[in-house]
Amino acid sequence: MLFPSSQLFLISGPCAVEDYDSCAKVAEVLCKLREQIPGHVVFKGSFRKANRTRSDSFTGIGDEAAINILGRVKEEFDLMITTDVHQADDVAKVMDVVDVIQIPAFLCRQTALIQRAAKTGKTVNIKKGQFMSGEGMKYAMQKAEQAGDGEILLTERGTTFGYSDLIVDMRNIAAMTAFATVVMDCTHATQRPNSGAGVTGGNPLEIELLARTGLMAGATGLFIETHPDPASASSDQASMLPLRELEPMIQRLLPIAELYQTTYG
């Protein structure tokens, strides 16, 4: 298995692929972390942002340009790659570059999309919908298992609470670990969606708290979006972790991961 439940692994990178230079800066840090983290380190970057609140929100630099940058990062830094797909046709565009195909939370019930991703034989990471229970995600996982033979990851990213907040119920992580390897999305779970301005808010100060508690609840992987300068990023400025903070935070989390994966692994 690429992602055994007994080893901490990291999925990290910018919200969206903006340019090669910013991706390379993140990749350099991930290569350093690869020497410290027991499991795999995966570079994440969305080649296209399809789930946007406003029509004038940033959606990407163009599919081909973004996918080419992901391929360059993979080749030059020897990192595993993941990106999200929003429709079945996207899978063919990215399958030659990515190692893990991500299904966005809002699309975790889209049967054809999950099946198409699973048929590639690659690892599929299905994010739990903000409207789903942990127990309910076993059916999304079954769709993937029936369509292909690759590994399946499930990611917790919070549950809708009211109209403009997300709450992480750690019981969902515990529930999903009964049948899957679980990832804690430490950045999207801090978001404050549906703001009146049409721009999602967030609080990066909560990222480490969610990482710690996620590991304690049984998560094996950490999903952390990061950027060299979040304030200048084209997407999710309010919730990404500044790149300079990633390595120190991971070092603080390693003892927690070791303790609780010894307990649950």
Contact 165, 155 (CB under 8 A): no
Q: What is the pLDDT of residues 105-125, one digit of tens each?
A: 999 999 999 999 999 999 999
Residue 172: both structure tokens together? 């969902």
pLDDT at 4: 86
Residue 216: both structure tokens together? 């304690």
More confident of the two residues 195 and 196 = 195
Contact 50, 88 (CB under 8 A): no
Give the mean pLDDT of 1-6: 87
**Look-up: residue for tokens 């090669």?**
20
Residue 217 contacts by C-beta under 8 Å, 6 or more apart in sequence?
Answer: 170, 171, 173, 174, 177, 184
Q: What is the pLDDT of residues 11-34, one digit of tens each?
A: 999 999 999 999 999 999 999 999
pLDDT at 5: 82
pLDDT at 158: 94
Write down the mean pLDDT value for the chain.
92
pLDDT at 239: 83
Helix orientation angle between 246-264 and 20-34, rounded to the nearest 10 degrees: 50
Give the mean pLDDT of 56-73: 91
Give the mean pLDDT of 4-14: 94
Q: What is the pLDDT of residues 217-228, one digit of tens each?
A: 999 999 999 999
> Which residues on neighbouring strands pair with residue 82, listed in sequence order?
44, 100
Give the mean pLDDT of 141-146: 98
Burial of 108 from C-beta contacts in 10 A (0-12 / 13-18 / 19+): buried
Instruction: Tell whether the model's pLDDT for residue 191 goes beyond 80.
Output: no
Calculate the CA dihedral of residues 56, 21, 44, 71 and round it to 10 degrees: 110
Can you point out the beta strands (E) in 35-140?
41-44, 80-84, 100-103, 123-127
Contact 210, 190 (CB under 8 A): yes
pLDDT at 77: 98
